[in-house]
Amino acid sequence: MKQFDRRIAVVTGAGSGIGRELAIACAERGMKLVLADVDPEGLSTTNSLMPSGIDVRTQHCDVSSFEDVRSLADLAFEEFGHVHLLFNNAGVATLGPVWSATPEDWKWVLSVNLLGVVHGIQCFVPRMIAGGDEGHIVNTSSAAGLTAVAGSGVYCASKHAVVALSECLLKDLELFGSKLKVNVLCPSLVKTAIADSDRHRPPHLAPTNPESAPFDRRVRAGMDASNVSAADVARITMQAIWDDDFYILPHPAVRLRVEERLRDIISDHQRHKPDNLVTTMDRP
Ligand SMILES: NC(=O)c1ccc[n+]([C@@H]2O[C@H](COP(=O)([O-])OP(=O)(O)OC[C@H]3O[C@@H](n4cnc5c(N)ncnc54)[C@H](O)[C@@H]3O)[C@@H](O)[C@H]2O)c1
Sequential DSSP letters for 123-145? HHHHHHHHH---EEEEEE--GGG
Residue 138 included in any domain:
yes
Give the rounded percent of residues in the chain with a pLDDT score beyond 90.
93
Which element (helix H / strand E) includes 87? strand 85-88
pLDDT at res. 270: 75
Residue 162 included in any domain:
yes
Residue 44 included in any domain:
yes
119-164-255 Cα angle (round to 5): 125
Q: Which atom of ligand 1 is nearest to the CA of 65?
A: 31
27 touches 51 (CB < 8 A): yes
Q: 190 pLDDT exceeds 80?
A: yes
Residue 245 included in any domain:
yes
13 CA to middle of ligand 1, Å? 6
Tell me which residue has its CA closest to atom 19 in ligand 1. 194
The tally of domains found in the chain comes to: 1
pLDDT at res. 276: 53
152 CA to middle of ligand 1, Å? 15
Tell me which residue has its CA closest to atom 25 in ligand 1. 13
SS3 247: strand
* Catalytically annotated residue among 77, 87, 155, 215: 155
Q: 275 pLDDT exceeds 90?
A: no
Torsion of CA 96, 14, 186, 225, to 10 degrees: -60
Q: Which atom of ligand 1 is nearest to the CA of 230?
A: 16
Q: Which atom of ligand 1 is nearest to the CA of 93?
A: 43
Residue 3 included in any domain:
no
pLDDT at res. 268: 81
Q: Which atom of ligand 1 is nearest to the CA of 13?
A: 24
158 touches 64 (CB < 8 A): no
Residue 118 included in any domain:
yes
Q: What is the mean predicted confidence (pLDDT) over 240-266?
A: 96
Identify the band that residue 272 occupies on the pLDDT scale cut at 50, 70 and 90: low
Residue 276 included in any domain:
no
Tell me which residue has its CA closest to atom 24 in ligand 1. 13
Q: What is the mean predicted confidence (pLDDT) over 185-192?
A: 97
> Does 155 qualify as catalytic in the annotation?
yes
Residue 284 included in any domain:
no
**CATH number of the CATH domain containing 162:** 3.40.50.720
Which domain does 262 fall in, by range? 8-266
268 CA to middle of ligand 1, Å? 34
Q: 127 pLDDT exceeds 70?
A: yes
Which pTM value belongs to this model?
0.96
Q: What is the mean predicted confidence (pLDDT) over 36-42?
A: 98
189 CA to middle of ligand 1, Å? 12
Q: 147 pLDDT exceeds 70?
A: yes
17 CA to middle of ligand 1, Å? 7
Q: What is the mean predicted confidence (pLDDT) over 57-74?
A: 98
Give the rounded percent of residues in the chain with a pLDDT score beyond 70.
95
Residues of 45-65 as b/e, b for ≥16 C-beta within 10 angstroms? ebbeebeeebebbbbebbbbb
Q: Which residues line ligand 1 (CB under 6 A)?
A: 12-13, 15-19, 37-39, 42, 61-64, 89-92, 112, 140, 142, 187, 189-190, 192-194, 197, 200, 223
Annotate 9-61 with three-state secondary structure: EEEECCCCHHHHHHHHHHHHCCCEEEEEECCHHHHHHHHHCCCCCCCEEEEEC
